[in-house]
Amino acid sequence: MKVVLVSNEKSDVPGGENIFMMNLINGLSEHGFEFEICNTGLPPSHRSFFDKALEYSRLQSLSNVYGKVRKIKDYDALHFLNASCCLAGLPKKGVKIATSHILGKSHYRFYEPRGITEGILESAYHNYSSLMDRVAFNSMDCIVASSPYHAGDIHETYGVPRSKIEVIPPGIDLLSIKKSPKTDLRSKYDCDHVIVYVGRTSGFRKGLQYLIDAVDKNAPYKVLVIGGGLDERYFKELVKEKGLESKIIFLGYLDFKQKTMIQKSADATIVPSVSESFCMVFAESLACGVPVVAFDMPFWKPLYSGAGLFVERDGLAEGIGRILTDARLRKKITARGSEIVKSYDIKKTVSDYMEFYESLCR
């Protein structure tokens, strides 16, 4: 069986899609599956309004993906690792699959409305993107969701029949995380505690702005921000305005080994996202034995119930303080987390995908 894996992620960016792709490829290789990688990449990103608008229109990206995909021949299944680019596969014949990594109802918010005009623009963009995805998703033979909640969201948002939605969590490399060493972050950054944020600094969906607002100048911890993106300059300016340059340190993109070592050595991971389908950072932190503080959102419950400290939007500062001082709570959360992540091992994900491919291509 030959499966073509189509990715539109930049190959040099260690984002969730790339990690998912490499984990899947390694697993399939071990089981003798034949596959071809079609890494289309993304057009260059810039900070101007026009460039940003062009990026969010997806026209450049879809054109790029279509140009690569149309040349592909002789395959059993065409698997789009990011459902946002599967519209480019409409003309192709054969079995077509798309893995969705986002929640449809809340993803298309690249800024929070600050007035009527921005609210209208956001609403228009949301409707435009949802229409594109409705057409694309319903043209696929199957859409893969990360959780039962995510599957329900896809069904309600895009009208995809539940019979065409498969639930397979992306999976994490438990073995590599287990082998990762630790480092002394407290000594390196001269503080009592170190907490980490791992995620893109693009848009507001990941919630970095909430973390910045929650940090106290006099708190006995420092925050390490791992990741990069279009809005990094905005977040750095926000940190500067609040006088938190010595408290919040931007490390940029790090490779998996460096990132994991820091995650494993931190006292806590903060995941202030307002929209997630799975969140590999959450699962990886639990695998590292590090507690997670996140907002009390419904999409977490089917995935990490009892494995994190879930707080209200205005309770993040208090939550951070509690997770750093309550040893009993940390022990309870990490114990629950270590059990949950066993079901998210990449080995199980690969096995599920193999069975899935075979069932569709019979």
Kind of pairing, strands 142-145 and 309-311?
unpaired
At residue 117, the pLDDT reads: 64
Domains of the chain: 2-171+345-360 (3.40.50.2000), 174-344 (3.40.50.2000)
DSSP 228-297: --TTHHHHHHHHHHTT-TTTEEEEE---HHHHHHHHHHSSEEEE--S--SS-HHHHHHHHTT--EEEE--
Which range is least confidently modeled, 20-29, 66-75, 107-116? 107-116
CA-based angle 137:138:144, to the nearest 5?
50
Question: Bigger pLDDT: 21 or 214?
Answer: 214
**pLDDT tier at 263 (50, 70, 90 boundaries)?**
very high
Which range is least confidently modeled, 7-16, 69-78, 287-296? 7-16
Quick check: 111 pLDDT over 70?
Answer: no
At residue 109, the pLDDT reads: 47
- Winning range, highest mean pLDDT, from 17-26, 111-120, 198-207: 198-207
- Chain mean position to CA 187: 30
Quick check: 110 pLDDT over 90?
Answer: no
Query: CA 193 to CA 187: how far, in whole Å?
Result: 10
Interval 32-38 mean pLDDT: 80
Quick check: 357 pLDDT over 50?
Answer: yes
Interval 244-266 mean pLDDT: 95
Across the chain, mean pLDDT equals: 87
Kind of pairing, strands 193-198 and 221-226?
parallel
Model confidence over 140-150: pLDDT tens digits?
A: 999 999 999 99
Residue 211 contacts residue 28 (beta carbons within 8 Å): no
Quick check: 167 pLDDT over 90?
Answer: yes
At residue 204, the pLDDT reads: 78
Model confidence over 271-285: pLDDT tens digits?
A: 999 889 999 999 999
Quick check: 297 pLDDT over 60?
Answer: yes
At residue 172, the pLDDT reads: 92
CA-based angle 298:201:187, to the nearest 5?
95
Interval 245-269 mean pLDDT: 95
> Which are the contacts of 242, defined by CB distance < 8 A and separation ≥ 6?
212, 215, 217
Percent of the chain exceeding pLDDT 70 equals: 88
Quick check: 362 pLDDT over 80?
Answer: no
Quick check: 332 pLDDT over 50?
Answer: yes
At residue 104, the pLDDT reads: 81
Query: CA 150 to CA 237: how far, in whole Å?
Result: 34
Quick check: 294 pLDDT over 80?
Answer: yes
